[in-house]
Amino acid sequence: MSYATSSARAEINELRRLKTLLPPELQSWVIVEGSTEVNPPLIRCEEIGKDEIEIQIDLAKWENLAIDQRNLLFWHEVARIQNDTIPREGWEMAALAIGLGGAVGELWVQDGLLLLLALSLCGISGYRLWQKNNSEKTIKELLEADEKAIALATRFGYSLPNAYKSLGSALKTLIEQTPNRRQKKKYEERLQSLRRSAAKAKARMKTQQETVVKENSF
pLDDT digits (tens, 9 = 90+) for 94-120: 444 444 444 444 444 454 555 555 556
By mean pLDDT, which of 73-77, 81-85, 108-112 is the weakest?
A: 108-112
Q: Which residue did the predictor score with more confidence, 132 or 155?
A: 155
Domain parsing of the chain, residue ranges: 3-88+133-217, 92-132
Q: Is the pLDDT of residue 197 over 70?
A: yes
Alpha carbon of residue 106 to chain centroid: 41
Q: With contact defined as beta carbons under 8 Å apart, do 80 and 45 qualify? A: yes
pTM for the full predicted model: 0.77
| Mean pLDDT within 48-64 | 90
**Cα angle 145-57-147, degrees, rounded to a multiple of 5:** 10
The answer to whether 121 and 98 have CB atoms below 8 angstroms apart is yes
Lowest-confidence range among 34-43, 83-92, 143-152?
83-92
Query: Is a pLDDT exceeding 90 seen at residue 174?
Result: yes
- Pairing verdict, β 52-57 and 30-34: parallel
Is pLDDT of 86 > 60?
yes
Which residues touch 208 (CB under 8 Å, ≥6 apart)?
A: none
- Answer whether residue 78 shows pLDDT above 50: yes
In this prediction, residue 7 carries a pLDDT of 80
Average pLDDT, the chain: 81
Exposure string of 85-113, with b = 16+ CB inside 10 Å and e = fewer, is: bbeeeeebeebbeebbebbeebeeeeeee
